[in-house]
Structure formats: structure tokens, C-alpha cells
Amino acid sequence: MPELLRPASVDEAAGLFASHGAAAAILAGGTGLLRETHPSDDGVLIALDRLGLDRVESRDGGWSVGAAVSLSGLRAAVPIPALQAATREIGGPAVQNMATVGGNLFARAPFGDLAPALLALGARLVFASADGEEEQPIEAFYAGWSEDGAPRAGLLTRIEIDEPAGAVSYLKCARRRYASPSVVSVAASVEKDGSGAVSDARIALSGASAHPFRCAAAEQAVIGAGLDDAAMAAAGAAAEAAVTPATDPVASDWYRRRMAGVFVRRALAALA
């Protein structure tokens, strides 16, 4: 019987997470975990509902988003259109009321649609462990993923999001408009210099590889260029070459690869 543990402080939760090791699973919104968990299973579930992690705090230049903030809560509190668009395209309203920002970052394809937006925004993740807090860029977190999923770095407690310096776009390729699993989802942000050339770019994809990632090859294709058709097409082609998608009932690897290219191009076009 898995034990449901409902710690009352982050320290306690981080301690439980460390001491139970692989037997522990984090219960946030439950929309993913409870599908897979049976009352007869072994292990412990560590619930986040008493930790005060369900709040968004506005700070200078950005927001501190608790890991247990719901997707609809994020949409209400953080007025970044690309991020709001991402939350609207995950499940229906009930799922959005239940599923959490933190939980979605651990979701496996075809369900982790928030990550590209946060990658494009340069968000930072804060983990609590027995040794204290550790903050890391979200791309570093995903770089640590293996075939088995996320590294056990500690307990994700909040997500730091800064106000975007430039424009950010988010597009999801889905077979259905609402409540649809992803074919791929893509977010892009660019900063331009005085001449209109792209000085910095962040292009991120989900559903296109084993985990969400920033596509350096696509970014390089636009940095230094204007956002013209040739540069956007080059970025799309670079993304198509870089992804390693899977086949599932929603789409084949062949189709996902194609859409990675198309949607990187379209996400950039939305910024041009």
C-alpha cells in the first residue's frame, strides 16, 4: 500500500523525498501520477498540498511560481501570452484546474507542453534538498534527463520566470484544437539589435525528442540574420535534423519530425 505523506513544510518534504529514494513519488495535481498508481502498490506518495507551493508571487522583473500552482492559476497570475497559450492547450478546464506547473515539467511526451514556453522564457527551477536550495536554468534540468526520465535532483519547489526581454511565441501542433496531446510544441523568443538582426534566440521543442530541449542548431540558424524567410526555413530545417521523435498513437516519428520543422518556422514567423 503506498503511503500518502502530507508534509507540512518544504524542509520536511525534501527530507522525505531524500530518505525514501526511488520509492517516493511526488503527488502534485494527480492527473498523471494517479492514473499510474494503484492502492496496492508499494512506495510513498509525497503530497505537495500543504507546503504553500500553490502561490504565485510577483517580484521585481518577474514572478516566483510555486511548483504546485495549477495551470489555470498560472494563466491567471502571469500575463505572458505565450505561457498562457501553453496552459490553455493542456487537457480541458478540469485538468487545467488540477494539473500543476511543476508536474507538467515532469510529464512525458505527448503531454509536456509547458516546457518549451519556459525554456524560451529562460525560466529557472528551484529545487529543495537536504542540503538546501539549488537554482538551475531549466535547460540544465532537461540536459540531465535520461531514458528513465528526470534526475532526482531534489524537490522542485518553484519556477522563477522573468519578464521577457523580447517577443515570445508559442505554437502547439495538435490533431485537435483543445484538450489534445501534442504532436510537437514549440516556443521561440528572439532579441534583435538595432539593425533588426537577431542578437539572441531561444527556440525550444517538446514532444520532438526524449525530453523538452532548446534546439541550438535552430537558434544558430537565425542568430545574426534577420527573421526573413530564408533564415526561418533554415531554422526549421535545423530543427528537423536535430529532433529524435517517437511514434505513438497520436503521430509517427516521421510526422513529428516534419512538424518540428514546420512549427519552428511558424513560431519564428509569429515573431517576424
Partner 1 sequence: MAKVRGTGLAAVNYPTGMHLGGDPTQSLIHMTPAGDFVVTMASVDLGQGLRTVLAQIAAETLGVPYESIVVETADTDTGPHCTGTFASRTTHRAGNAVVMAAQEARKAMLEAAGELLEASPEDLETDGAGNIHIKGVAGKSVSVGEVAGAAHFAFGKTIAGRGAYLKPPSPMDPETGACDPDSTQAHACTVVEVEVDTETGMVEVLDVKAVYEVGQQVNPDLVKGQIVGGAWMGIGHALYETTAPGYPAIDPAPVDFQNYLQPGAHETPEITCEVLEFPAESGPYGGKGVGEMVTNGPIPAIVNAINNALDVRITEIPVTPEVVLRAIEEKQAQTQG
Partner 2 sequence: MSIKQLGVVGRNVGQRDLESHARGQTTYYEDVHYPRMLHLKMHRSAEPHARIVSVDTSAAQASPGVVCVLTHEDLPGKKVWNGLAAVGVGPEDEPILAFDKVRWRGEPIVAVLGESAEAARAGAAKVKVEYDPLPGVFDVEEAIAGAAPALTAHWPRNHYIYPDDHAAAQIRYGDVEAGFADADHIVEDRYQTSPIEQAPMETNGCIAKPGGDGRITVHTNTQAVHFARDNTAAILGIAPGKLRFLGGTVGGGFGGKVDVAVEPISVLGAMRTGRPVKFKYTREEEMQVSSTRSAWRLYIKDGVMNDGRIVARKITSYQDSGAYLRFSSYGSMKHAGHMPGPYTIPNVWVDARVVFTNRPPSSAMRGFGVMAASFAIELQMDKIAKTIGMDPWQLRLLNAYRNDDMKAHRKEVEDAAMVETIQAAARLAGQELPAEYQAMTSWDRKAG
Partner 3 sequence: MEAKLIRLTVNGRDETVVADPLATLQDVLRDTLQLTAVKSGCGQGGCGSCSVLVDGELRLSCLTLAERVEGTEVTTLEGLNETNAIVPLQQAFVENYAAQCGYCTAGMVMAAKALLDRNPAPSRDEIVEGLSGNLCRCTGFAPIVRAVQQAAQALSDTGEEAS
The residue ranges that bind partner 3 (CB under 8 A) are 1-4, 6, 27, 30-31, 34-35, 37, 39, 47, 49, 88, 91-95, 97-98, 177-179
C-alpha cell at 230: 530564408
167-174 and 62-66 beta bridge pairing: unpaired
Instruction: Choose between 30 and 166: whose C-beta lies nearer to partner 3.
Output: 30
Q: How far apart (Å, rounded) are the C-alpha atoms in residues 166 and 155? A: 31
Distance CA 238, CA 87 (A): 27
The beta strands (E) that lie in 67-197 are given as: 124-129, 132-137, 155-162, 167-174, 182-192
Residue 193 to residue 215: CA distance in whole angstroms:
21
Out of 21, 22, 36, 40, point to the residue binding partner 2 (CB under 8 A). Answer: 40
Closer CB to partner 3, 27 or 78, in the complex: 27
The binder of partner 1 chosen from 119, 128, 251, 260 (CB under 8 A): 251
Residues 149 and 151: their CA atoms lie apart, in Å, by 7
Contact 267, 188 (CB under 8 A): yes
Task: List helix spans (H) across 56-92.
Answer: 71-77, 81-88
Q: Of the candidates 38, 60, 61, 147, which one interacts with partner 2 according to CB under 8 A? A: 38
- Give the nearer residue to partner 1 in terms of CB position, either 38 or 176: 176
How many positions of this chain bind partner 2 (CB under 8 A)?
Answer: 3
Helix (H, G, I), strand (E, B) or coil at 4: strand
Q: Is 259 in the site for partner 1 (CB under 8 A)?
A: yes
In this structure, which amino acid lies at residue 74?
L
H/E element, 66: strand 62-66
Asked if 61 interacts with partner 2 (CB under 8 A), we say: no
Question: Which partner, partner 1, partner 3, partner 2, none, binds residue 252 by CB below 5 to 8 Å per kind?
Answer: partner 1
From partner 3, partner 2, partner 1, none, interface partner of 25 (C-beta below 5 to 8 A by class): none
Q: Does 39 bind partner 2 (CB under 8 A)?
A: yes
**Least Cβ distance, residue 60 to partner 2 (angstroms):** 48
Q: How far is the CB of 39 from partner 2 (least distance, A)?
A: 5
The Cα–Cα gap between 168 and 181 comes to: 22
Give the nearest distance from C-beta 69 to partner 3 in angstroms: 14
Of 23 and 230, which CB lies nearer to partner 1 in the complex structure? 230
Determine if 266 is a binding residue for partner 1 (CB under 8 A): yes
Q: Compute the distance between CA of residue 21 and CA of residue 15 in angstroms, rounded to an integer.
A: 10
- CA–CA gap between residue 16 and residue 8 (Å, rounded): 11
Using CB under 8 A, pick the residue from 76, 81, 178, 224 that binds partner 1. Answer: 178
The residue (of 94 and 241) whose beta carbon lies closer to partner 2 is 94
- Residue 248 binds partner 1 (CB under 8 A): yes
**What is the spatial distance between Cα 245 and Cα 192, in angstroms, rounded to a whole number?**
31
Q: Which does 68 bind (CB under 5 to 8 A by kind): partner 2, partner 1, partner 3, none?
A: none
Binding residues for partner 2 (CB under 8 A) = 38-40
